[in-house]
Homo-oligomer: A and B are copies of this chain.
Amino acid sequence: MVKIVVDMMGGDNGAKPTIAAVSKFIKDHDDVSIIAVGDEKVLEPLKDKVKIIPSTTVAPMECSVMQAMRDKESSVYKAVNACLSEDADAVLSAGSTGAFLSLCTLIIKKIDGVDRPALITQFPTKVKGKYCVLLDVGASSENSPSELAQFAKIGEAYYQAFYEKKDPNVYLICNGTEEGKGNTLSKETYALLKNEKNFKGYMEARDVLSGSADVVVFDGFTGNVFLKGSEGMAKMMGGLMKEAFTSSFRSKLGYLFARKGMKGMLETMNYKRVGGALLVGVNKVAVKAHGNADEESFYGSLNVAYTSAKKQTVKKIKENLKL
């Protein structure tokens, strides 16, 4: 049984999409048990299917760490706390990233020996069905070379466990591929990683999508800029495409004919299916769903939590850090 605690209230869209996603998820999986945290009245439709932990407040999206720690009645606080007290495998929230990450770090705590937890995300590539994992995409604002070297180890272990590949390729993001390139941080990190078996060197941002890398390591600042920049571009092109297809009767007709091909494309680019990012380096699976997650996206996040727990990513990360 995989036990997942879910903050049902934290997202921009309230409990409607989370209730729908949880209902569907437990129908689709017979080896999962959900603990739903939120307003008891609102969660009424779930009461015969899952354990409910009542909470009375919701931490705001722009929430300071202090605020998040102080409001012990909030759904996110209670969810993170319950992950420990109920001995669950995973916790999931679509609430404030800052609040969720701090609560997970402070309550669930870092794995022994980990300096900084990182946000890891699965990123689509040109190769159909192939994702690469990127970390850190924003848990930190600044990292040291030894933290980046640790991210490489954590990412490697995560990929090994999640995708069941023995020797994933690990790259370090850079502004060029030759050894002498990069800033002080890249150069010092390169020196630390150089003799690691699966480390393959620098990778330029344009090649992340090529599908050749399994793991790409970023400092949190650069990873955040890369991820948001690429997502922004994908979204803008999607929007322009939609516009193009709805600009006239002719173009709408065109869409009808091209629909099948376009669906394949949109499927590849569907961030919703992946649904959020994980905080890795803490003692439980901790998944941050998109703040504006709808049912499909939240279901995707549940799936990331479920699969990560089932494949024992936390245990594998612990083992790899000892090597």
Contact = CB atoms under 8 A, between A and B. Distances in A.
A100 to B, nearest CB: 15
Interface string A110-148: 000000000000000010000000000010011000000
A163 interface: no
18 contacts: A126-B236, A138-B175, A175-B220, A183-B221, A205-B232, A222-B222, A226-B229, A237-B238, A237-B269, A240-B268, A241-B241, A246-B261, A248-B260, A248-B261, A250-B258, A250-B260, A253-B258, A254-B254
A264 interface: yes
Interface of A: 126, 138, 141-142, 173, 175, 181-184, 186, 204-209, 220-222, 224-241, 243-248, 250-251, 253-262, 264-265, 268-269
B232 A258 contact: no
Given A175-B224, A175-B225, A222-B222, 13 more contacts: A126-B239, A142-B184, A175-B220, A182-B221, A205-B227, A206-B229, A209-B236, A237-B265, A241-B241, A245-B261, A247-B264, A250-B257, A254-B256
B243 A224 contact: no
A302 B311 CA distance: 55
Contacts of A204: 224, 228
A237 to B, nearest CB: 5
Given A141-B182, A141-B183, A251-B260, A244 B230 contact: no
A244 to B, nearest CB: 3
B257 A243 contact: no
